[in-house]
Structure 1
Amino acid sequence: MTVFRIGEAAELLGVSADTVRRWIDAGRLPATRDEHGHRVLDGVDLAAFVRAPGHPELSSARNRLRGIVTAVVKDTVMAQVDIQAGPFRIVSLMSREAVDELDLQVGAVAIAVIKSTTVVVERAPAPRGRTNP
Structure 2
Amino acid sequence: MSFPEIARAFVSHYYPTFDSGLSARNNLASLYRPESMLTWESNQVQGTQNIIAQLTKPGLEKVKHAVTTTDAQPSPGNGVVVVVTGSMVIDEAYDKPLTFTETFHLQPIPGQPGGFFVYNQIFKLILG
TM-score for the superposition, normalised by structure 1: 0.24
Greater share of strand: 2
Pair member with larger Rg: 1
TM-score for the superposition, normalised by structure 2: 0.24
